[in-house]
Amino acid sequence: MKPFGYTKADRIRNSAEYRKLSENGKRWYGRHFIIVFKKNQQLNSRLGITVSKKVGKAVTRNRIKRIIREYYRLNRNLLPIRLDINVIARRSSGAIGVTALIEQMEHGFLSIAADIEKRCGD
């Protein structure tokens, strides 16, 4: 596998996995996203993306998903352990630009990494 690839093994793929993550995961709340995360027993971290119709039309929803996937693909090394992550786009995420989306994702990933480091350090 290429180091920056994004394969099926890197995705949360079925509703049972999303439900399990939602029920047992920890949440990070940002202005434009909610990130639900939980440690997994897989070989690598996995990403799920939830963008409802409330965010915007299909073009807007797909743009947000592309940006999130690309950010994850290039920056998953910021996470200190293997996690299942579901990024839930809030309604406001459809009205902002690419730079603001990336900044929000970066803030979320760094906050998650700091939280994990704090819990592991105790």
pLDDT at 79: 86
Q: For 11-63, how does the pLDDT look when each residue is reduced to its tens digit (9 = 90+)?
A: 999 999 999 999 999 999 999 999 999 999 988 899 999 999 999 999 999 99
Q: What global pTM score does this model have?
A: 0.90
Question: pLDDT tens digits, residue range 53-90?
Answer: 999 999 999 999 999 999 999 998 888 889 999 999 99
Domains, the chain, with CATH or none:
8-121 (3.30.230.10)
Distance CA 47, CA 20 (A): 14
